[in-house]
Structure 1
């Protein structure tokens, strides 16, 4: 059950991350990172790794995008 919740949180964070790739919307990553971290924490408690891995991938993508934009863009 917690794995499904972690997958849903990861999909929500991924859907929020899509517009954050557009120029001047990169600051949205500051909102997505805590959501993805919540999914990682829920994924650690679950017995399966799928949701946790999805959230870790989304988290890594958002952190890389944020660092490429200098933390703002």
Structure 2
């Protein structure tokens, strides 16, 4: 059950992170919203018995965190 919750949180965070990757000015700040959501999903996924939800959230953390790292968290 926790894996399904983690997967749902991961898909929501992935949709938000994909919007943040677009090269529209100030839109990448949306990654600041996706990152804590993905961290919450990864924490829930770590408690579950399966790894799929945790892995999805770790992927979203890499995407949004990498985008923030490359732009110094600004744009």
TM-score calculated relative to the size of structure 1: 0.95
- For these two proteins, the number of residue pairs brought into alignment is 73
Per-residue CA deviations over 1:7-60 (Å, capped at 9, x if unaligned) read 000000001111101222111111111000000010011000000000000001
* Match runs of 1:1-73 below 5 Å: 1-23=1-23, 24=25, 25-73=27-75
Q: CA RMSD in A?
A: 0.7
34-43 or 62-71: which moved more? 62-71
In 2, Cα distance between the equivalents of 1:2 and 1:70? 33
Shift of 1:69: 1.4
| Structure 1 residue ranges without an equivalent (≥5) | none
Query: What secondary structure does 2:60 align onto?
Result: helix
